[in-house]
Structure 1
Amino acid sequence: MGSSRFSSAAQGAVSRRRLLAGGLALSAAAALPGCKSRMSGLLTGADAHPADYPTVKAVEFMGQYLAERTGGRLGIKVYAGGQLGSETDTLEITSFGGLDLNRVNFAPLNSVEPMTLPFSLPFVFESVPHMRRVVDSEVGEEVLAAMEPHGLIGLCIYDSGARSFYNTRRAIRTPDDMAGLKLRVPASDLYVAMINALGANAVPIPFGEVYQSLAQGVIDGAENNWPSFVSARHYEVATYQSLTEHLLTPEALVMSKISWDRLSPEDQDLVREAARLSVGEMRRLWDLRVTEAKATIAASSVAVNEVEKEPFAALMRPVWEQFITTPQQKSVVERILAMREG
C-alpha cells in the first residue's frame, strides 16, 4: 500500500475513537446472525447519511445483488447515520482495513488525493446531467483509480445533487448579499476558500451540529442539496434559500485495498459489477428524493429565489488557480469543461 496523503490533523489523530469505530465495524459484523461460512463474505460499510438515504439504499442494493449472485456467500452490512463516526474518521478506518466499504463525499478525499479536487471545484459542472456524463466517462475512472495508492479502491461515483445557500437573514441574489454572513461548510480548505472568496465567513462544523447552530444563531446559514436541506430539517430555521447551485460535487464509494486484496479476481469483478449497477439505483432514488424535497419546500415558509450564477462563478477563478496546480489536475478540468453542452 502506498503512502497516505491524509491531512496532518487526520494523521495525528488515529484516536481511540477511530480505533474503537474500526473495532465496532468488525465486531458488529461478527455479531450478525448467520453461519460462520458466510461471515467471511459479509462486507461492512459506513455512510454518514440516514438509513433511508439514496446512497445507503444503493449500497444495500449492491449487497443484495452480491448475495443473489453468490448464493449468500457475499453480502454487505451498512452502518448508516454516522454510527461509526464522521466521514473523515471512517475514511481513515477504511484505508487501514477496519471497514470494507465507505460512501464518502469528495470533500474529505481532497486532502487524500489531489486528483479528486477538480470534481469539487465550484461551478465546474453546469448541471446534474453534465456531472453525470463526466463521472461516467474515462475521467471518472481516472479519478477513481488515483485513490489506490492511498489504500482505497474507487468502485463508483454517486450523486450529491446541486448545492445552494440557505440562511436565516436574507435572500442572496448577488455576491454582495454574502457579505458578513457566517456560513457552515464541511472541513475542507476548498470550501473555506470558496466561501471567503464570495465575501462571507466560512465556519467549518460537523453536519450534525448545523440545525442547532442555525437555531442558536451561531451561524447564519449553510449550503447543501435539496434532500439534505429537508431531511436535516434545516428549512425549519433557515427560511431563505438561494439557488446558486455552486457545487455539484459527487460522492464516491470506496473499498479498503486490504479488503479488496482478500477477494478472488472473480469476486473483485463481481463487486465492481454490483457497484456499477448500484449507480443507476442511486440516481433513480435520488431524483425521486429531489422532487419530494422541492415539494416540501414549496409548501413551507421558505422564500426561494433564483440566482444569476455568472457573477458568483467569476469570483471562483482565483480559487481554481489556488487548488488546481498540476498538469494532471488541469487536464481533468479541461476535459470536464469540454463536456459541457454550451
Structure 2
Amino acid sequence: MKSLRTTVAALAVLAASASAAFAQEITLRSSDTHPDGYPTVEAVKHVGELVKERTDGRITIEVFHSAQLGEEKDTIEQTQFGVIDMNRVSLGPFNNLIPETAVVSLPYIFRDAEHMHRVMDGPIGDEILAAFEPHGLIGLAFYDSGARSFYNSEKPIESVEDLEGMKFRVMQSDVFVDMVDALGGDATPMPYGEVYSAIETGVIDGAENNPPSYQTSGHAEVAGYYSLDEHLIVPEVLVMSKTRWDQLSPEDQEVIRQAAQDSVSVQRELWAEAEKAALEEVIANGAQVNEIDKQPFIDAMAPVYEKYANTPELQDLVERIQAVE
C-alpha cells in the first residue's frame, strides 16, 4: 500500500511538472528596420496583443524596431538560424533566394495597391508564403508598403531620360539593380541605414521608396525631389523562424498564424493614413512632389521581365497575377 501511495505521488509530481512545462511562458523576439509607430511595427505589436490574449498571456511578442537587431539582410539570416524568432521584411532581399518573390517584386507587376491586395490575399499569396519554408522560414502574412518612387537631391524626374547616369540606392536585390539599369541609372545596393549620409555626402544622388519611408527616414531633408513614377508595389512579409516554429504545438502555431492574418487589415488601415500624412508633411517642409507619365517606364521593363520570368512556371505566375481582376 505504501508502495502504491509512493507511485501515485510520483505520478502526480510528474503530471504537475508536465503541466508546468506546457504552461511555460514564451517570449518571441521580432525584428523590424522601421521606427516605432511605423505601420508595420504597430501591426506586429497587434499580432502580439492578439497572441497574448488568445493564449491567456502565455505567449508574448517583443518587437525590436529601428533595426535594433540589425539591417534586413542580417536579420533574415538570424531568423533562418533561429537567433531571431520573427521578422518583418520587404520581399526584395528574398528575390535572389526565392524566385517567386522576384516575380511579385517586378516593376509594374501590380496595377495598383488594390490589385496587389487581391493577388496576395488569394491562392497566389498562399503559394508564395509556402515557398519560404524550404529556406528555414514560415511565411505568416503580407503587409502593404505602398508604391515605391524615385527621389533625389538634384532635380525632378519627369522622364526616363532624366535618370540617365544618376546614382540611386536600391535594396540588395538583383531585380532592383536591373530595374534601375534598364532606366539608364546607376544602381547602388546599400543598407537602408546608410542612405541618408550617402545622399548628404554625394556618394549617391538619391534612392527609391514609399512616402512614409521617405518621410520617417529623414531622406526628404537631403533629397527634396520626389517623383511619383510608382515603379514598384512590393509587399512586405512577416516571417517566423522554422526552427522556433517547430518547437511550438500545432495549437500555438495556429494561434500565431491566425493573429498574423488578422493583423493585415489593421496594417493596411494604418498604412493608408501614414501614406497620406507623409506626403502632406514632406510637401509642407519643402519637398517637390511631381506626377509622371508611367508608360515609358513600363515599356523599359521588358528586359527585366525576360530575365526574371525565365521559366514556364514563373511566366505562368506573371500571367496569373496579371489576370487577377
Same fold (TM over 0.5): yes
Letter in 1 for 2:70: G
> Structure 1 residue 269 and structure 2 residue 224: aligned?
no
Equivalent of 1:203, from 188, 200, 210? 188
Q: What residue is the counterpart of 2:161 in the other structure?
A: 176
Kindly indicate whether residue 218 of structure 2 is the aligned counterpart of residue 233 of structure 1. yes
Q: Deviations over 1:241-294 (max 9, x none)?
A: 110000000111011111111111111111111000111111111111111101
Structure 1 or 2, whichever has the larger Rg, is 2
Identify the residue that residue 8 of structure 2 maps to in structure 1: none
The answer to whether the Cα contact below 8 Å between 1:38 and 1:72 also exists between their aligned partners in 2 is no
State the Cα RMSD in Å.
1.5
> What residue identity is the alignment partner of 1:121?
L
Deviation at 1:98, TM superposition (A): 1.2
Find the partner of 1:85 among 47, 50, 70. 70
Structure 1: stretches of 5+ with no match in the other structure: 1-34
| 1:254 aligned onto 2:254 | no
Shift of 1:61: 0.6
Shift in Å, 1:300? 2.4
| Cα deviation 1:289-322 (Å, max 9, x = unaligned) | 1111011023122121110111001110101111
Give the corresponding residue for 1:136: 121
Q: Which runs of 4+ in 1 moved over 2 A?
A: 35-40
Q: CA deviation at 1:37?
A: 8.2
What is the number of equivalent residue pairs in this alignment? 306
Amino acid at match of 1:228: S
Distance apart, 1:139 and its partner CA: 0.4
Alignment of 1:1-342 (within 5 A): 40-340=25-325
Residue of structure 2 in register with 1:8 after alignment: none
How many Å separate the matches in 1 of 2:209 and 2:201? 19
Distance 1:304 1:239 in 2: 8
Q: Are the aligned partners of 1:122 and 1:247 in contact in 2 as well (CA < 8 Å)? A: yes
Tell me if structure 1 keeps the 8 A contact 2:145–2:235: yes
- Match for residue 5 of structure 1? none
* Residue 37 to residue 44, structure 1, CA distance change in 2 (3 Å): farther
Counterpart-to-counterpart distance in 2, 1:143 and 1:330: 15
Alpha-carbon distance in structure 1 between the residues aligned to 2:101 and 2:74: 18
- Aligned partners of 2:55, 2:85: CA distance in 1, in Å? 18
In structure 2, stretches of 5+ residues that fail to align are: 1-19
Change (3 A) 1:39 1:91: farther
Matches of 1:142 and 1:105, distance apart in 2: 17
Instruction: Provide the identity percentage.
Output: 49
CA distance in 1, matches of 2:154, 2:36: 32
Instruction: Answer whether contact 2:71 2:192 (CA < 8 A) is retained.
Output: no
Q: Deviations over 1:91-120 (max 9, x none)?
A: 111111111111111011112211111110
Task: Report the counterpart of residue 9 of structure 1 in structure 2.
Answer: none
